[in-house]
Structure formats: structure tokens, C-alpha cells
Amino acid sequence: MYEILAFHICKPPGCIKKFFLVMRMTVFLLFFALMQVSAEGYSQSITYRGKNITLKQVFNEINKQTGYNVFWSSGIIANAPRMDVNFENTPLREVLETCLQRAHLTYSIEEKSIIIQADTQAPAPVEDALPPGTITITGTVRDTTGAVMAGVSIVIAGSKDEGTVTDNNGKFVLDVKEGAVIVASFVGYEQQRFTVVAGRAVYNVVMPRDVKLGDEIVVTAYGQKQRKEAIVGSVSSINPEQLRTPTSNLTNALAGQVAGMISFQRGGQPGLDNSQFFIRGVTTFGYSPSPLILVDNIELSTNDLARLNVDDIASFSILKDASAAALYGARGANGVILVTTKGGKSGKARINLRYERSISKPTKTVELADPVTYMKLYNEAVATRSAVGIPQFTPNQIQGAEATWTKSPGYNPYLYPAVDWMSTLFKKQTTTQRANLGLSGGTEFAQYYISGSYDRDNGIMQVNPVNNFNSGMKFENYQLRANVNMKVTKTTEAIVRLWGNFNDYTGPITSDQSGFATDLYDQALHSNPVAFPAFFAPDSANMGTKHILFGNNIHLTGGLMSNPYASLMYGYKSFSESRMSAQFEVNQDLRFITRGLNFHGLFSTNRYAYFDLVRNYSPFYYSINPSDAAINKYSLIWLNDQPGAAQEYLSYDPSRNNKNVNTYIYFMGTVDYSHSFGDHNIAATLVGTREQTQTANASTLQLSLPHRNLGLAGRLTYNYKSRYYVEGNFGYNGSERFAPNHRFGFFPTIGGGWIVSNEKLWQNSNISNIVTRLKLRGSYGLVGNDNIDRVENNRFFYLSSVTPHAGPGAYFGTRNNFTMNGPSIQNYPNPDATWETSHKSNLAVEFTLYKNFNVIAEYYWEFRKNIFQPRGYIPVTEGLESTVKANLGTAYAKGLDLHMDYKQTFTKDIWISGLGNLTITSSRYGHVEEPQYKYAYRFQSGRPINQQFGYIAERLFVDDKEALNSPAPAFGGPLPQGGDIKYRDVNKDGIINQDDQVPIGLPTTPEIIYGFGISAGFKGFDINAFFQGLARESFFMNPTSQDDRWNGYYGTTPFVNNAQILKAYANNHWSEENQNLYALWPRLATYDIPNNQQQSSWWLRDGSFMRLKSLEIGYTLPKRLIRKAYMSNLRIYFNGLNLITWSHFSLWDPEMAGQGFGYPVQKVFNIGINANF
Amino acid sequence: MLSSCKKYLDVVPDNVATLESSFANANETQAYLFGCYNALQNLSDVRRNAGFTTSGEIIFPFPLQDQNVLGPGGDGGFQILRGTQNSANPILNYWDGYNMGLDLWQPIRRCNTLIENIDLPKDLPLYNKARWIAEAKFLKAYYHYWLLRMYGPIPIMDKNNPVNATTEEVRVKQQPVDSCFSYIVGLLDEAAKDLPPVIQNTALEEGRITSTIALAVKAEVLATQASPLFNGNPDYVAMKRQDGTSLFPAAYDAGKWQKALDATKAAIDAANSSNASLYDLKLTGSITHLGDSIRQLLTLQGAVVDSWNQEQIWTLNPQFGWQYMASPRVTADAAANVFAVYSNFSVPIAESELFYTDNGVPINEDKTWDYAGRYTLQNGDQQHFYYIRLNYPTAKGNFHREARYYADVSFDGANWFGSGNTDDRNMNYVNAVNGFASPPDQLRYNATGYWAKKLVHYQSTAGASSVWQGYSWPFLRLPALWLLYAECLNEVNGPTAEAYSWIDKVRARAGLQGVVDSWNNYSRTPGKPSTKAGLRSIIHQERRIELAFEGQAGWDLRRWKELQNVLTGPVQGWNVFNRTVNGYYQVVNVFQPIFGLRNYFYPIQDYDILTNPNLTQTLYW
């Protein structure tokens, strides 16, 4: 259950030496969880009389009357004098003090134990000092948030425990002498001192948290808590507060916040704006380089992680090396993300209320050429490619559109439309609201944490009042979480966690994967701005018409064109999505079997449900009647007048409604044991897990079978004197996707740590004043990755996957009506398939300079083998219908994680802190099964993973003649002309083909991610700025005409697929008038020119950037103002996200890489208020 | 405990579908057989057929406002003539199945799998078992043949390698072309003996392979082997395997023609015994008036577009889907709906000039025909009342041509029987200068001014809602066998009366006199039929005319090694965007085809040679 090794509470603090004495004396167990030694411990009293009594007799009596165990060594009391005692209902504390003082002994109380220690401090010569007059002081102790603190010890410096502790209201009363120095201390907080001066009786104390790296508790595999000091593996944990950004997507806050995580966001489309993140970079070229994500031990998807509410998070850690992740065995090779949610704390109910309101808009909007430029350039594109080409737009049309665009007198927007689709469809910005309420509290026996949140994202789309339904977008998210801990018996704790996440959406109809109607953005970018107006004003025939008169034209190929405005208005879709999770845990202390043994059991299940509904009318499309327009009459032609093609009433098609349901069940059992003898501490853990997911929407039989996992994992740790740590781990687990003989794998690791600064030699030398803490650690081991291929392709690697009657077929008979289809083969059996295995090594040094400056530097290297990859050598002549893959590939990776933080408090009111993270990774292919290329530069082996191959573009061709006489490109399509891209014939064979592709640029995933932030506070104000960036990344502008919104590929080729033209291309392209050989865009065309659409250095760009990721300014109102409202804390803050970006690339946000027509990354301005009651 | 854990991961029930389930019973096995047929039926798509797209018979315009009107990349095969072929990403890639090609190795593997597993179904009657094996063998042979025609030497995949075969096993080698031919012929022989000669249950089985088809294909295969492209072709002697084995025979072997001759005779005999004969016109629907002239044209055309007729030895079930590409707009309805007709299949002037004069000899040989003045204008007259609109000015070359010209090709001024008008006294006609058939835009136009009328059924009607009278695509007609026989006879024995007789049977149906008489009476080279070379040229032209637009010429011209000659000059057409008569009738160059020696065979995709270093790239690529 809890990691208990070497953790001790000393009261008063700073008693490590005493602690070691105790260790010698006896062996005992302490529980971290019960660190708040309550003041009630002292309230018990003793009645005891006797003469010539020994200390031992006193102790026995105490034990008899109070139940406290008293620990002492016979040596320590050997010289204690006998005494006469006369206690009548005397508090225990007084009894102890009276008896021990004379023997120069002291004591401490830990839970139910009283530990007797030698008092090493010289006995204070109390009798020598003349009492300068005693005064009674009082005061209240609070933490920095203003909450009162109970149980804080208030001690007179130099005395032996002379003092008191604060009560439940944080109050203390103490009789002291003037000039005495009072020390307030509490575990986990910085000690505070003040001097008692004459004439002042009230001393309020504020205790800031003492963030000493070594004392932090870190959540590691399977929710195990370990002290940071004791960890030998590589675990980064983030203060969840750092992840607070004004977005509803947690993954977008990760970049730069954690040393060892590579993260970037490629698009801002709501619902599809998850960042990609990789722990220690991409170290495999197999199917999945993604980490395992666990929330309260339950495996969840990236989407679930994205929706988590920061206020609910208690801890966020990532497991990076083998030692940390090995317990996950065959699933941990890509690292693990662990999140735990908050539990309750005993005490009065505390309420945390937060409300935020944000405005978001694109960090950078792609700039499109205006409609008139569009027409002119379209004509240029036709003319420049074909001598006989007929211009698309007549000068008359261009003039008319220009008049419309500039709203010149007499313009006719219906005859000569010039539409800015972007602003017709979208508002400049949108708003979001978030509210969050957290409630926690409890008694000694039961604690609770309940939170609820409500988010509302409003759409960015324009709304037309003509519709009697609102097609404007609204997305609401509700979350409810209840975590309750109950002490059922003295040794049994039960925990119940309930969590529900509910989303409701209504908005325009979309075919979008996300469900959100953001495909409209893409439609707007792929709509001709001058073909038709968005809608017409009614003509005389349509004066009474109820529907919108949408504009349209018959496309060249027959159908109607797409009118994005109609797509926005013609109906609405709603969906409802929910995930309910129930989790029950039990912690059982098994001390009745043997001390130090604990059991933890967990059962969890969640249910997911989704459905959507679509209702729409069929839009009416019109075009202007040009012959009437010529005689200055305004009349419209109804274009889709076929029966049923246009209708005013709503229709509903049940087959368009999607439903998706799945269930998940998880069991986990853990047994812990820990034991200490002398300087030796050992602990062991054994975890068994079992997991099953089932989905109701499987498309094939194999996919409908339950997805299961089974695992057994163990950890054994040993430390000596809290200086030397050794740890061994293993994971033994299985995946049902492999053949029985490959189903279970064993993944062992070993690691060790040495806390140099705990060595006597170190502590005694001067260097300990500079380097206050120094720790070295290292680990080595194996971890696996069983997510090696898409489940849809390859559910069971060892089975063939065949769909009968779904494959190729034929039909016969004079009327062609006898049809049969053969099977389709998705997969051939591969009984040898197994997981990837990663050999990971990690070395780290952690140190603290001058107490305030913490550094963790880690260096790692990794060898990945058994990467599942297609068999490169199987020629197509084998006639196989699906790719045969095998565990063939290997890869190497190495890198550096660096974390630094610093905090300095100057006075009570002024503090400053900073932190920085740097992640450097590099990985390269080891063995890859590749064809036997003729040219060495074509092999991937040895190259960085994700480095791209492409052609070397030299410049644009000067003229057609040069193009004709240059090495011929083998891309198909029309032969290149002047102004098309000229490639280097690398192998000098006279043809530009694959053999001329060389590795170009840097990998497309960044090799360096960094982030640094600085925070400062002055009185009630605080300011926090965080900068984040990435470097060593290349991307290719997408020069194709792709319009694949399902996968997020958007090419920027103008005109093709009805695409608009970017202003940048309009201003800077090769044309016959301006034959710039280095123009941004080559010669225009209205169709695809494959020569210019190849991946080449022409489109290669530097992806590095740095941005002011967030800036926050907050103000905490003075307590006296808010107390009347029963608040303990009230903070108002303004913050912003993605405010400023520095980059070499200016066309669109560099983080989106090549997909310029994708939905832009958002910039957010937010105002929030946070109140505690 | 441990075993129950292990069971927990055993989520797969015993009876999930695997490859073996495809042979659980006769019904499943038949479905599998149909899967083997799939690729064959896809071969009937003319876009995929190099014999159709890369023959010079029909070209496809470029650039169009929308180049995807034949589907994405659908015009790829046509554009090869513009020099787009390459080895990096070949067009009509039948090795890997890209760019309108099909991966033919997959159906070959499927056929092998069927043959390997045919014993599994317990309920399969023996006669069906033998027939299905024979069909699989035929298909395997035909797929190999298709690849052989395209790539020359190919690996022979007679047995499936296991999925986990070693690198050495899967790195197969190309076999010399003669071995490939022998292998294919061997398979066809095996297949023919177990196949039915004709399909009895036509409602269910029409389109499946018969022994007649197998024998006819065998004849074509052997003739291909005997033809100059494969038989001692000096240009390809240099093509050798990595191990030095020659892939093409160095010397010409006349004996190959004898084998082809015997096989063709056998095929003709088989066709006769299965009652194959020339097509008789069967009219469906009401006809307002139909005289002999148009009846003859409909008969000539009906041999192709009237499905499953007695002349079609082998027809594939899928229907020809591009009538709107081949048809001109001849009615106001068709013109009003510009989306009804595209007309992009454009016949070059050279192809139109292949058809004989009404005297049955080539237009440049006919003593009575004004060859030099063929591009001048002449008005439609009474003599051509049924062919050319009366008093309509058109090119002089359109006058005095054989019936097959008027049956197969349409042009400005040509009459059009059908498309809703079945009165041959007042037919629709083509006005390509400034009428319905002239280009409405830069997309729906014919680039040369000649339409492949043969491919458009007279009952097909374009308009606001078009009806295209569908027909299944024929692969082999009886006249093709006759002409092949004549070709073999001439190659083996030189000009003989027997050889003439087989040609004359074809000419007679077209209303032409026999070869000897025609040449004697009208040709400037009357002795041409009496020399072996002369008769060869006559047979070749006869074959190109008779089988025009049927996807045959491209293959024939290849095996004869004549395609390069056909494609030397520029592709020409009328000045189709000009709307005046005089402006229209200017011969313009549409484009200069690029067809070199290397284009006789297709390049293997470079990547395939990387994955299998044992392969040799096609020579000159």
C-alpha cells in the first residue's frame, strides 16, 4: 500500500540524529499516511503515585494506562535516577517531561508509540537566567492559501520541546519570556521563527510549503507511492497546477512542462486538437510509439486524458525508464503516463470554486487572396499552361467582381459574386466558459472529494435567423467525480471512486470524424469565391418563400457545387457521449499476519455510450438568370427542381445515426511487505492485474471478441542507511493477440541509487553547504510493447483473418445476375509474432544547490528490437493479399532530460521562482528490412527515425527548353515547363526518380523540446510566464491538392479541388511576367502538376519555434476583505495561451507543420476567478 | 490458477473463419472460384486494356478542365502516348496493380489456392470438380498470358509458396518467353479437355469459360509466340536474366507458325461444332423505317453490341460503360443536357483513313478515289443519302467508303440512326461545326472530329435522362479467328486460295468483293495479294478494320511490331473549336505521340526489382 521505507516523522523537526538512535534501539513501523500526529495524543492523562520508582516502572505504567507503546534501550536509562512521583490525572506529556528531564532524556510520540531518546542538546542552564518577565502570546498559523493549520508545533528555540501545538483552528497559546525565539514547524512546510517582543501578544504565522525534492511523494507504477529519494528509476512528476491552461484539452499543456516528453500540437480543430506526445521521443518505427495512459490505474485513451480536469488531478507522473515502467511488462516500452485524482482530506468541508471565461481565435489565420486576385490568377493559370486555353473569367466578370468586392457604386453581388467565405461562415473569435466546483473534507473515518464541472464551448459559426432551429454550435461537457475513503476497521480502508463524463453537442451537420462541424473550415478553403453568392435576396417570384435562397452553380461535371453556407445552415446534428466509471478499492493492513504486510484490491469498470442524430432539410439552390440581369431585371433560376431534391421540411434518416457502446472491466490485487532491521530496509510488492474491453460496434467477428490483458508484476527494494538503494522489478504479462507459446513475456529490470549527500564525509565537508543534496542513480532493464499493429488489420497475429464473401467476386448469366464473392483476406497467420522489446538504460544525477536550486539531469540510451514491420523482401509476385509482417526491426535511441527549478522567498511578501525543462532525444533505425538499393543514400538503416526522403530542388526551370533538356522526371503527369521545379539528378542517370531521393532535413518529430517559466509574487499579486519551444524539426509544406479531412492532410495547391489561393502564393509565384527562379510557388496551373508536388527540399522548412505559451497575472484579495463573505481565499486572474510565437516560418502557425489549410491552433485569452470557502 | 489465467487470454472461439472455411462446401468453393474470375472480368474495362488505350485507334484529350472524367487516373493508359510512361511508377501497372493496372499475381495465387484445396469440400460432384479445376487453370493461363504480352519474360507462378517461405524461394526469376508460352499452352490444353464446349445454363453461367474459348485463346497465344515481337526479335535478344539466361529466342522459328496454324484450325473447328456463325441482325423495339443500307450497318455493328450473339466466341459479362464518351451529341435533348454526352473518345484521322474505299482497297491505293483531295469539302449527295446528310458539306474523304466505315465511325455530316429516331429516311445527323455536336466547353469535346460510333448502340439515347443500351464486352469474335487463320496460312504457305477464302468470308459480310478481285480491279498495286508480304499487309489491315475499337489492334500491332510505325506521325484531327465550316476543316496536330522501341513492353516498377534482385528490368527501361 504505502511505501514506508525510511520515512520518518520527527517532532520537533531536524532530528535525524535522534532518529538513528531510535533505530538502534528498536524497530518500528511508521505510516506516512498518519503523519499528522494529532494533538489528542497528549490529552490522555496518568494517575500514578510511588516512591523510589525507576523510569522503567513509569513506562510500564504509561503503557498500561494509555495503550502507548514506549520504546527505550536499557543503556539509555541505566543511569537514570530513581524518583518519587505523584501524578493525579496528569497529562501524559507532563508526566513524560517531568520524569525524563532529570535523566537528560527526551521523547517523541509517533502514532501510538513513544520513543525515548537521549537528549543530545546540552541541558539548558535554566536556573542561570533571570526571568525577564513572562508573557502569554497567542496566534493563528495559516498556510499560504490562508487555510488554518492544525497540529503545528510551536516551540521555544533552545528549549527541549518547551512549547505547544496548534489546535484545530490553527490557534496556539504559549507562556514565554520576552526575547524568546519561537519556532513554528510542520512537516512539509518551511520552519518559521519569530522573536517575542514586549507589549505584543498576537503573533500570526504563515507557513509556506517547503518543497524539498527528496521529500516529495511520487506516484509510480500501479499507484504505488514512493518517496522521491527512494526512487532509482526515472519518474518525472509535474505539479498539476502547471498544467492549468485555459483550454479544455489537457494534452496541449504538456509541451515543455515535463523533462523527457516530446509533445506538439498539429491542429486546433475542436475535438481533434489533441497534441501528439511521446515519452523520450519516437523510438520505434512500428505501429505505435504512444505511451500507456493510466488514470487511477485504469487504462484510458488520449481523448480521456485530454478531457481531464486539472482541478481534479492530485498527481501527474510519467515513467520513462525500464525500472519505472517494467511493472507494465509488455506494454510499457513507450513509457507510461500516470494520473491520480484527488482524494478527500479530513477536516472541515473546503470548497473550491473556479469560473473561467475565454475568448479564442487562431494564432495565425492563413491569408487568402481576395476574389478578384483569385480570378486573375485563375486566368493566368489557364493561359500559362495552354496556348489555346480559354480564360475562365471574362474581363467583364472580373470588373463586376471587383465592384462587388470594393462595393463600388452600382455593384451587383448576385450577378458578380465575390464572397469571403471565411467571414461568411465564421466569426472572428469564439467564447468558452468553464465552471468547476470541488468539495472536500471528512472525519478521521471518512474523507471525501467531490467535484463537478461544466464547460461550454460555443461555435465559431455564424447563425442565420431565417432558420427556425439554431444550427449554431454548442458543446457542453459535464463531469462529476466523487472519491470517498472510509476507514472500515482499524486496519481496513475502503475507497470508492465514481466518475462520469458527459458531452452534449448540437451544431451543424458534419461528416467530420470529431463530430464537430469544423469541416466547414475546410469547405470554406475549398470553395470558389466568385462562383455564386452564399444566398440570394428573394426575387419577385420568391417574395413569400420561407426557405433561404442558397446560391449555387452547376459544376462542370454535372452536379451542384458545394455551398459551404448551405452546409452550415441546412440542418443540425446532435450527439451525446458519456463515460461512467465506478471503482472500488480496499486497503487491508495485514499486520495480524505479520507487521509490514498490506493488501490492496481494486475493481473498476466503465461504460461508454455514444449516439448521434441528424435532422435536416434539403436546401434550395438558385442561380441568377443572366438574361434577365442583362435587361436589368432580377430573377432567379431554381437549380435543383428535381422531385425531392429540395424540401423545406426536416427529414430524418435513421441509417445516418451512429451508435457506439463499449465496456471495460479491470481487476487488480497488490500485496506489499516492508521490513526494517537495523540500517537495512527492504520492501516487496506483488501486483496481479486483469483487464477486459468489449465493444458493441465491432465490424468483424474477430474484433468483437473481448480484448484482454493479464499481468503479474513485482518489485523488490532494499536500502541501507537511506544512502544506498537497490531495486529489482519484473513484469510478467500476456496479450491474447499472440500465439499461446508467445503469449507471456518476462521483463526484468535492475536499478540502484546512492544519495551521496547523506554520507557523513559529505555532510562534514564544506561542499554540503553548496551542494545540499546529491543523488546518483541508474537502471537497466527490458520492457515490451504489444501494440505493434492496428487491431483492425491484425487482431490475432497467429490466426488468418478472412471475411467470407467480402472479397473479389464475379457475375455470370446472360443478364449478369448470378453473383458470388470469394473471401477477402486481411491477414495470413503468423504464429511467431510477438511484442517489441526495449532494452533501456538510464543514468541520472540529482542535486540541489544552496537549498533552492534543484537540478535533475538524466541520460538514457535504448535498444529496441523485434519491431514489427512489413517483410520487405516478399515480392509482389507471391500474390499475397495482405502485407506479411514480422518482428524484424531494431532501433536505437538516446537522449538527455534536464529539469531545473529554483525558488527564492525574499520577504514574506516577495517571492520568485523559475523552472526549466529540456528534452533532447535522437533515435535512429537499426535493422530495417529494406530493398537492396543501388545507392547507399537510399537506405533508412542508420538514419534518424522520422527523417524524410525527398528530392533536392535546385530552382525553377528558366524556360520550357531547359525543362525539356533536363533529366526527365518520372512522376507522370504533364512534362515540366519553365517555372516548374528543377530537381537534382543525384545519381546522374538522366532520370529524376526514386533513386534521386535522399534523406533531407531533420526528423519531422522534434528532437528538442524545451520550456521555461518564471513566476513571481508580490503581496497579493502573482505573475507567471511560461515559454515553450521546440527545435531540430523539419516539415514539408504540403504542396499537393489533398483534401483529406479524415486524416488531417490538407494540401495548399491553389485551384485544384476548388481550392482558394493563399495570398502568399498570389504575391510570390513564377509567372511569365515575373520569372523569379526562386519564387515561393512555381508556375500556376488549374490541375495537379505532379512534378511540383513531390516531397522535396523546395518545400522543406525549419519547424523550430518558441512561443510565450502562457502568461498569467493573478491577484489574491486581502483576507480581511473576503472574510465577511466566509471565503478563505479569493483569487482573480487573467491568462493567455499561445500569445506570441517566434519562428522563421510566417505563412501559418509553425506547430501545424505542413498542413497549412488545416484548422489553426488557437490563441486564448481568459479571465478566471477562484474562490475557497 | 495458472491454467485458468492462460485460458483467460484464449478469447478466440474455435470456429472463426479462416482460409480453410472458404472450402467448407461446394457453395463456398464456387464463391472462391468466382473470386478467381474477378480479375478477368475487370480486364474487360477498356481503360485497363493497353490494346484499347495505347493503339492509336482512340485518343483522350489533355488537358481537360477536369481530367478525372474517366475516374481518377482513368485516362492514364491513353496518356502513355504522350510520353508519360516511366519505370518509377508505371502506368497500367499489371505487376503491382497501380495506375489502372491490376495486380495479376493475386488472382494467380487464388487459382493455385483453389486447385490446392479443391479436395476439401466433401459435397462437390466430380464433374464440377474437374470443370472448376479446368476453369482455374484457364484463368491462371490467361493471367500469365496477359502479363507475358505486356512484360515479355515473366516468372511462372505455378505453385504457391508458403507465407513464411525463405528469401531465396520467393525471389523468383523470369522465365524465357518460350518457356512461358509453353507453360500457358500446356495449361490451356489441360483446361480445354475438362471444360464444356458450350454453356448450357446460359441464365446462370453465360460468361464462364468453355473449351471453345480455351482453344481460341490457345490459337491466339501460339500466334503471338510466332509473331515477330517474340519470334527471333533482334531488338530483344540482348535481354538476359541475371544468371545469363537469354530470355528471348535469338532465331526466328517458322515452325511456330505451323503450331499456331494447327491451333487456329482446331479452334475454328471447335467454334463450328458449337454452332458459332456470323451475326444476324436481331432488332428489338419498334423501328419506324429501316432499309438495307442501315440494316447492313446495324448488322456490322450488332456483331459487337448485341450481346451473347452467335459470332461472339468469348464475351465478358461486364458491360461497356463509356458509350457517352464515344457518342456525339445528335439531338437537341442531348445538347441541352451537356452532362449527358462527353464525346472524349477521339478517333485520329489516321485511324479513320484505315477503312477501305467502297471498292474494298485502301484509300491510298484506290485508282478511282481522290486521295489527294480527301480533305476538301463536298456536299452530301443522293448516293450517300443513308450515310451522309443530304447537301451537308463534309470532307471529301468521307465519301465512297466501305460500309464498315459508316458502321464504325461517325463524323461531321454523318447520319445517325437511333438515339430516339429510327426512321432511316430522316435520320439525326452530326453537326460538329456549329450544331449539337460542337464542343460546348473545354471539357466535353471530341479532339479530332471522329467518333467511335461502333461502340454506341443505336437504341442508346442521350438527353435529360439518358438511356444507354448496355452490352457485355466481347473479347473474341469468329472473324478474328478466321483472319488469324488466314494470317497463319500466309505465314506458313504464302498466298494461297485457302488464305484468300478466309479473308473473303470477312469481307463478304462487309459487302466487299474478294481480295484478289478488289485489288485486281481497283488497286494501283494489283499484284499485292499474290506476294507473301503483300498479303500479310492486307491481312493486317483487314484485321485492324474488322476489329477496330475492340481493344485488339493495340495487341496485334505490338506482336507485328508495327505500332511504332503507326505512331510515328502526329495525331491529327479537325480544328474542332472553330465554328465555321472552312475553319473547322483544317487538319491540326493534336499531339505528337511518343512511342519508341522500349514501349513495346512495359517497364517493371523499379521497386519490384529492388525487392527481387533476381528480376531483370525490361530492356530499354
Is the pLDDT confidence value at B412 over 50?
yes
Q: Any chain A CB within 8 A of the CB of B342?
A: no
The pLDDT tens digits for A848-858 are 998 889 999 99
- Looking at residue B40, its pLDDT comes to 97
Nearest to B203 among A690, A814, A973 (CB): A814
Q: Are A743 and B39 within 8 A, CB to CB?
A: no
Q: Are A809 and B38 within 8 A, CB to CB?
A: yes
Nearest to B170 among A808, A875, A971 (CB): A875
Beta bridge partners of A965: none
Q: Are B34 and A972 within 8 A, CB to CB?
A: no
Q: Are A829 and B317 within 8 A, CB to CB?
A: no
Is the pLDDT confidence value at A317 over 50?
yes
Q: Residue A19 — pLDDT band, cuts 50, 70, 90?
A: very low
Average pLDDT over residues A572-581: 89
Nearest to A970 among B86, B206, B607 (CB): B86
Q: Are A820 and B103 within 8 A, CB to CB?
A: no
**Least confident among A142-146, A570-574, B66-70, B525-529:** A142-146
Q: Any chain A CB within 8 A of the CB of B588?
A: no
What are the backbone angles phi and psi of residue A459, rounded to the nearest 5°? -70, 160
Cell of B17: 473463419
Probe site for chain A from B16, B160, B312 (most A CB atoms < 10 A): B16
Q: Any chain A CB within 8 A of the CB of B469?
A: no
Nearest to A873 among B66, B96, B170 (CB): B170
Work out the minimum CA distance from B16 to partner chain A, whole angstroms: 7
Beta bridge partners of B423: B289
Nearest to A932 among B13, B441, B610 (CB): B610
The pLDDT tens digits for B181-219 are 999 999 999 999 999 999 999 999 999 999 999 999 999
> Considering only CB atoms, which chain B residues are within 8 Å of A1090?
none
Nearest to A877 among B18, B84, B105 (CB): B105
Work out the minimum CA distance from A385 to partner chain B, whole angstroms: 9
Cβ atoms B363, B400 nearer than 8 A: no
The pLDDT tens digits for A153-200 are 888 877 766 777 787 777 888 888 888 888 887 766 777 888 888 777
Distance CA A893, CA A1003 (A): 13
Is the pLDDT confidence value at A39 over 50?
no
| Cβ–Cβ pairs < 8 A, chains A and B | 228
- Looking at residue A213, its pLDDT comes to 46
What are the backbone angles phi and psi of residue B204, rounded to the nearest 5°? -100, -30
Work out the minimum CA distance from B506 to partner chain A, whole angstroms: 27
Location of C-alpha cell 479531412: A1045
Q: Are A810 and B37 within 8 A, CB to CB?
A: yes
Q: Any chain A CB within 8 A of the CB of B30?
A: yes
Inter-axis angle of helices B105-117 and B26-42, to 10 degrees? 160
Nearest to A876 among B30, B41, B95 (CB): B95
Q: Are B88 and A993 within 8 A, CB to CB?
A: yes
Please choose, from the candidates A420, A417, A370, A368, the residue with its C-alpha nearest in 3D space to the C-alpha of residue A397: A417
Strand pairing class (A1129-1143; A809-812) = unpaired
Work out the minimum CA distance from B23 to partner chain A, whole angstroms: 10
> Considering only CB atoms, which chain B residues are within 8 Å of A740?
6, 10
Please choose, from the candidates A950, A1157, A1093, A953, the residue with its C-alpha nearest in 3D space to the C-alpha of residue A1034: A950
- Looking at residue A468, its pLDDT comes to 58
Work out the minimum CA distance from A781 to partner chain B, whole angstroms: 25
Q: Are A386 and B63 within 8 A, CB to CB?
A: yes
Residues 501 through 520 of chain B touching chain A, CB cutoff 8 Å? none
In chain A, what percentage of residues exceed pLDDT 90?
Answer: 36
Q: Any chain A CB within 8 A of the CB of B11?
A: yes
Q: Residue A470 — pLDDT band, cuts 50, 70, 90?
A: low
Average pLDDT over residues A429-446: 88
Q: Are B88 and A994 within 8 A, CB to CB?
A: yes
Q: Are B207 and A932 within 8 A, CB to CB?
A: no
In chain B, what percentage of residues exceed pLDDT 90?
Answer: 88
Q: Give the residue from chain B lying closest to A833, CA to CA.
A: B164
Q: Residue A464 — pLDDT band, cuts 50, 70, 90?
A: low
Work out the minimum CA distance from B538 to partner chain A, whole angstroms: 36
Query: DSSP letter string over B303-358?
Result: HHHSTT-TTEEEEEEEEP--HHHHPPP-SHHHHHSTTT-----B--HHHHTTSPBT
Q: Residue B147 — pLDDT band, cuts 50, 70, 90?
A: very high
> Considering only CB atoms, which chain A residues are within 8 Å of B339?
557-558
- Looking at residue A120, its pLDDT comes to 57
Nearest to A879 among B8, B11, B109 (CB): B109
Q: What is the ipTM metric for this complex?
A: 0.94
Q: Give the residue from chain A lying closest to B575, CA to CA.
A: A388
- Contacts (Cβ under 8 Å, ≥6 apart) of A949: A938, A997, A998, A999, A1000, A1095
- Looking at residue A543, its pLDDT comes to 87
The secondary structure of B153-211, three-state, reads: CCCCCCCCCCCCCCHHHHCCCCCCHHHHHHHHHHHHHHHHHHCCCCCCCHHHHCCCCCH
The pLDDT tens digits for B81-138 are 998 898 888 999 999 999 999 999 999 999 999 999 999 999 999 999 999 999 999 9
Q: Are A822 and B35 within 8 A, CB to CB?
A: yes
> Considering only CB atoms, which chain B residues are within 8 Å of A993?
86-88, 606
Location of C-alpha cell 467571414: A423
CA distances from A267 to A192, A1049, A1154 (A): 49, 11, 11
Q: Are B317 and A812 within 8 A, CB to CB?
A: yes
The span from the first CA to the last CA of chain A, in angstroms, equals 32
Distance CA B405, CA B58 (A): 15
Beta bridge partners of B240: B246
Q: Are A810 and B19 within 8 A, CB to CB?
A: no
Q: Any chain A CB within 8 A of the CB of B161?
A: yes
Is the pLDDT confidence value at A329 over 90?
no
**Least confident among A53-62, A303-312, A369-378, A1054-1063:** A53-62
Instruction: Answer with the residue of higher pLDDT: A83 or A215.
Output: A83
Distance CA A1026, CA A256 (A): 9
Please choose, from the candidates A74, A278, A254, the residue with its C-alpha nearest in 3D space to the C-alpha of residue A1005: A278
Dihedral sign, Cα of residue A422, residue A423, residue A425, residue A426: positive
Work out the minimum CA distance from A229 to partner chain B, whole angstroms: 36
> Considering only CB atoms, which chain A residues are within 8 Å of B11?
705-708, 736
> Considering only CB atoms, which chain A residues are within 8 Å of B157?
877-879
The pLDDT tens digits for A1082-1119 are 999 988 899 999 999 999 999 999 999 999 999 998 88
Q: Residue A1043 — pLDDT band, cuts 50, 70, 90?
A: confident
Nearest to B202 among A814, A970, A973 (CB): A814
Q: Residue A789 — pLDDT band, cuts 50, 70, 90?
A: confident
The pLDDT tens digits for A658-684 are 889 999 999 999 999 988 888 899 999
Work out the minimum CA distance from A803 to partner chain B, whole angstroms: 7
The pLDDT tens digits for A591-635 are 888 888 999 999 999 999 999 888 888 899 999 988 888 788 888
CA distances from A362 to A429, A1085, A1138 (A): 8, 30, 10
Instruction: Answer with the residue of higher pLDDT: B399 or A57.
Output: B399
Q: Are B105 and A879 within 8 A, CB to CB?
A: yes
Residues 257 through 316 of chain B touching chain A, CB cutoff 8 Å? 307-308
> Considering only CB atoms, which chain B residues are within 8 Å of A1086?
65
AA letter at A387: A
Probe site for chain A from B108, B111, B612 (most A CB atoms < 10 A): B612
Is the pLDDT confidence value at A31 over 50?
no
Q: Are A993 and B86 within 8 A, CB to CB?
A: yes
Q: Are A814 and B39 within 8 A, CB to CB?
A: no
